[in-house]
Amino acid sequence: MPEHECSESEALEWFSTVFAHRHQVEGPLYLAPSLNAAVHGACHCPIQERRPLLIYLHHDESIQCHTFCNDCLANTMTLELLAQSFNFWAWDVAQESRRSELPHLNETLHDILLEIASYDREQFPVLLLVSSADCLQTRCLFGRDLDRQKLYSTLMDFEEDHKRRTKYELDAMKLIQRMEEISLNHSATDQQVSVVPQESEHQTTTLPSSPKSDASGAGASS
C-alpha cells in the first residue's frame, strides 16, 4: 500500500492495482469499498442478501505472502468464486500506521483484528472468514497452512455452510410468522364468538293456560 497518507478507499485501490500487476491477473480485484461495507454485507443487511466475507491480511515484506498470492490467491477459479459468492476485502500491515489503523476500521471485528494486528511478520498472510446468519461466525486461517486446492475447498465449504445456516434461519422466520398469523386469526375468531347474544340463564317460559272443562261448568249449574 502507498507510504503516503491516504484514505481507506485509495489504499484499497492501490492494493488491487498492484496485486493485478504483480500476479498477472486480468483486471483489478473485486474488493469491497471499505471494511464497514464488507461487514455490513456479511452481517447487518437483510439476511437473504448476506454473503460470506473473506478478509485477506497481507504483509508486503513477507516472502511467504508473495508466494501465497502467486500460488493460491491469484488463481482464476478462486478469484471467480470470491467475485460471485463473497464479499472480499484486503489490507497490508507492513507499515506500522496501517497495522495500527486496522482494528479501528470496523467495530464488529475490532477485537479479533486487534489480535491479528499484533502478529509477527512470519505469521502472515492471515485470512479471516466471516459469516452471519443465525449468529456471527469467524474462522482464522494462516496462509502457510494452505495450498491452492485447500484454499478453494475451504472457501467452498464456508460458502455452503453459510447457505445452509441462512436457509435454516429463513425457514425458522417463516414458521414464526405463520404461527403469529394463526394466533391472530384465532384471536379474531374468539372476538366474533364473544359478541353473539346469549340467552339469559334466568329466562322463564310462560305456557298457555288450559281451557276450562265444559263438564265442570255443567255440574255447577245443576
pLDDT tens digits along 130-175: 999 778 999 999 999 999 999 999 999 999 999 999 999 889 888 8
Residue 178 has pLDDT above 50, yes or no: yes
**How large is the average pLDDT for residues 74-85?**
94
Q: For residue 125, give every residue at least 6 positions away whose Cβ sits within 8 Å of its Cβ, in sequence order, or none.
A: 56, 57, 58, 59, 62, 64, 65, 68, 69, 142, 143
CA–CA distance, 12 with 57 (Å, rounded to integer): 12
Largest CA distance in the chain: 141
Predicted confidence at residue 4, as pLDDT, reads 61
Q: Rounded to 5 degrees, what are φ and ψ at 176?
A: -60, -45
Q: What is the mean pLDDT of the chain?
A: 85
Round to whole Å and give the CA distance between 10 and 8.
Answer: 5
User: What are 130's strand-pairing partners?
Assistant: 53, 138
Residue bearing cell 465449504: 157
Angle, CA 184 vertex, CA 178 and CA 186 arms, to 5°: 105
Question: Hey, what's the cell of 57?
Answer: 491480511
Among the residue ranges 37-41, 176-180, 203-207, the one predicted with the least confidence is 203-207
Tell me the pTM: 0.79
Span 93-114, mean pLDDT? 96
222 pLDDT above the threshold of 50: no
For residue 96, give Cα distances in angstroms to 23, 59, 93, 118.
25, 11, 7, 11
35 pLDDT more than 60 = yes
C-alpha span between 168 and 171 (Å, rounded): 5
CB 77 within 8 A of CB 148: no
